[in-house]
Amino acid sequence: MEIIIWGLLIAGAGTMVVIFTEPIYHFTGAIGVIEDKLPGGTKGVFKIIGVIMVIVGILMFTGTAGYLFGPMGEWLLGLIKR
What does the pLDDT read at residue 66?
A: 67
pLDDT at residue 43, rounded to an integer? 93
pTM summary value: 0.78
pLDDT at 17 over 80: yes
The answer to whether 10 touches 57, Cβ cutoff 8 Å, is: yes
Helices (H), 1-82: 2-19, 21-28, 32-37, 41-62, 65-69, 71-81
Query: CA-CA-CA-CA torsion for 33, 37, 43, 49, nearest 10 degrees?
Result: -90
CA–CA distance, 43 with 29 (Å, rounded to integer):
10
